[in-house]
Amino acid sequence: MPDSDPKRAKWDETVVQPTLKKSPERKAEFVTSSGIPLARAYTSADGGPGDDLPGEYPFTRGVQPTMYRSRFWTMRQYAGFGTAEESNARYRFLLSQGQMGLSVAFDLPTQIGYDADDPMARGEVGKVGVSISSVQDMAQLFDQIPLDEVSTSMTINAPATVLLAMYIAVGRRNGIPAAKLRGTVQNDILKEYIARGTYIYPPSASMRLITDLFRYCETDVPQWNTISISGYHIREAGSTAVQEVAFTLANGIAYVQAALAAGLDVDAFAGQLSFFFNAHNQFLEEVAKFRAARRMWARIMRERFGAKNPRSWMMRFHTQTGGSTLTAQQPENNIVRVAIQALAAVMGGTQSLHTNSMDEALALPTEKAVQIALRTQQVIAHESGVADTIDPLAGSYVIESLTDEIERQALAYLQRIDDFGGALAAIESGYINGEIESAAYAYQKAVESGEQVVVGVNQFGVGSEPMPDLLRVDPAIEERQRAKLAALRAARDNEKVSALRGQLESAARDSNNLMPIIVECVDNDMTLGEVCNTLRGVFGEYRPVF
């Protein structure tokens, strides 16, 4: 457990000490290499797209008036594997290399609410992310990392309440109040039913947990983004760019409606909503996609839901480069793909960015591959000049036309989803899944026919290739995690845990907000699986019907 003694060094001496400022200082004046001054943004007077400016409704050109001229996007590499101790070392390495925020990848058992010693977890512990079963694991994951100085994104959905509760409990144990914690939980269950599959509970119970988290964070964790409404996984499942926008916004509408139905005021929670998009190889379409999505959400929030606060209209989003675009063949080519995708995200106005590593089509990324991925962002930020003016492609005929057409087609999808009765009904009918499957099939046919060229795969191959050095997770960590859990259960106050489990069950059966009791449960060493299994006993488990 982290030492809360303020005299103790916050960072292991074996790691280069990082600077935890939000972003490097930006220069006062912006000029090209030839000394040509660059304006903050360009309008019709300069041959640009019109007179709307970044930071103004409907935010087509960006949600802040200064964007990257005041600070860069948050460079937030997604990482996690094996044990909490191993992942902690990776986080400290990344922070020492200039990463600005943390992004946690959890293993599959954690994502679906099972402890590392559960029979359902066998063979999967620590494989695709870090294994977290208890607040002890969470404390080790963030050992020597000052939680009041970094923001942390957690890619967790069905058990998002439990993992956030553990994070809050770790903060408490280190003297950091919840009000000072900054970050995001993905907490987007609808896209799990659509595209990813790491759900636990039926939709109604899942939506209750989401709105409970909204309500709790509004007062107790006000700097936390309570949801990251995710198009990323929809795109990874095979959707088009238009479908990614449409289905993501449809899910966003459903969450807003659920929060309003639970009695929340729209302007009380909307400012804590965030989004998560993919970035693919078709550069111009991707830039236009981000601009269209931002404009659409602003209008939805102001016109459909009557939000009054301009912050409620703003779509703030994280972007990750496209995992499904990476190839196992000639993996070095992936560096180029990721650079193109990252550039599209930056020119589209993202607030934070993860760049995939070149070896991720083969295994979890090595430290060297992660460093190259981070350096890709840093080169774009510091050497390309694209961050020196806002919305630099605005006014381009093709960009403006694509932005309008993506919006038109996405609005048509939203109308069809409304005709079904909303996103949940469209999911349960199989409509959204069917649209994605059709798009994925069409793309695969184009690749197999050669109509869609994938360099190094269906053209420009080189025959046999040597296998690069890959990261391999030690299978022995499963037994170590089991032993750690056994020791935890032997040392804790099991009578208190049993009493808290009864309180949690009672709270789940009535309408009380579940977040306070979940925080108390995990702070008293109840495990992730024990919390989730208690809720399974009340809510049941979701079984897809199509």
Q: Are residues 407 and 492 in the same domain?
A: no
Residues shown for the chain = 546
Q: Which two tokens stand for residue 449?
A: 């026919």
H-only helix segments in 196-272 = 203-220, 232-236, 241-261, 266-269
Q: Are residues 419 and 322 in the same domain?
A: yes
- pLDDT of residue 24 exceeding 90, the answer is no
Q: Which of 167, 150, 34 is nearest to 92 (CA)?
A: 150
Residue at a domain's end among 427, 449, 471: 449
Between 85 and 8, name the one with better pLDDT.
Answer: 85
pLDDT digits (tens, 9 = 90+) for 355-390: 999 999 999 899 999 999 999 999 999 999 999 999
Q: Which of 199, 172, 221 is nearest to 515 (CA)?
A: 221
Q: Are residues 127 and 167 in the same domain?
A: yes
What does each C-alpha distance from 422 to 50, 85, 157, 171, 442 come to in angstroms?
34, 43, 20, 38, 26
Q: Are residues 434 and 502 in the same domain?
A: no
Q: Are residues 444 and 507 in the same domain?
A: no
Q: Are residues 206 and 319 in the same domain?
A: yes
Q: What is the CATH number of the domain that holds 403?
A: 3.20.20.240
H-only helix segments in 276-422 = 283-299, 310-313, 333-347, 367-383, 397-420
Residue 4 lies in a domain: no
Q: Are residues 529 and 410 in the same domain?
A: no
Number of domains in the chain: 2
Q: Are residues 342 and 489 in the same domain?
A: no
Residue at a domain's end among 404, 433, 449: 449
Residue 334 lies in a domain: yes
Residue 366 lies in a domain: yes
pLDDT digits (tens, 9 = 90+) for 25-48: 666 678 877 688 888 887 777 655
Mean pLDDT of 315-337: 97
Q: Are residues 439 and 513 in the same domain?
A: no
Q: Which of 288, 295, 402, 277 is nearest to 350 (CA)?
A: 277
**Residue 9 has what pLDDT?**
31
Burial of 128 from C-beta contacts in 10 A (0-12 / 13-18 / 19+) = middle
Cβ pair 266, 307 in contact under 8 A? yes
Cβ pair 454, 325 in contact under 8 A? no
Residue 333 lies in a domain: yes
Residue 120 lies in a domain: yes
Cβ pair 436, 444 in contact under 8 A? no
Of the given ranges (1-5, 14-18, 39-43, 439-443), which has the lowest mean pLDDT? Answer: 1-5
Range of the domain at 511: 480-539
Secondary structure of residue 106 in the 3-state scheme: strand
- pLDDT of residue 540 exceeding 80, the answer is yes
Residue 14 lies in a domain: no
> How sure is the predictor about 50, in pLDDT bands with cuts at 50, 70 and 90?
low
Distance CA 222, CA 224 (A): 6
Residue 464 lies in a domain: no
Cβ pair 497, 526 in contact under 8 A? yes
**Residue 25 has what pLDDT?**
61
Q: Are residues 216 and 360 in the same domain?
A: yes
Between 162 and 52, name the one with better pLDDT.
Answer: 162
Instruction: Give me the percent of the chain exceeding a pLDDT of 70.
Output: 93
Mean pLDDT of 307-312: 97
Residue at a domain's end among 449, 468, 489: 449
Residue 465 lies in a domain: no
CA dihedral 414, 415, 419, 420 (to 10 degrees): -20
345: CB partners within 8 A, 6+ apart: 277, 279, 286, 290, 319, 321, 353
| Cβ density class 48-74: b for 16+ within 10 Å, e for less | bbeebbbbeebbbbbbbeebbbebbbb
Number of H helices, E strands in the chain: 20, 10
Q: Are residues 444 and 501 in the same domain?
A: no
pLDDT digits (tens, 9 = 90+) for 232-245: 999 999 999 999 99
Q: Are residues 159 and 276 in the same domain?
A: yes
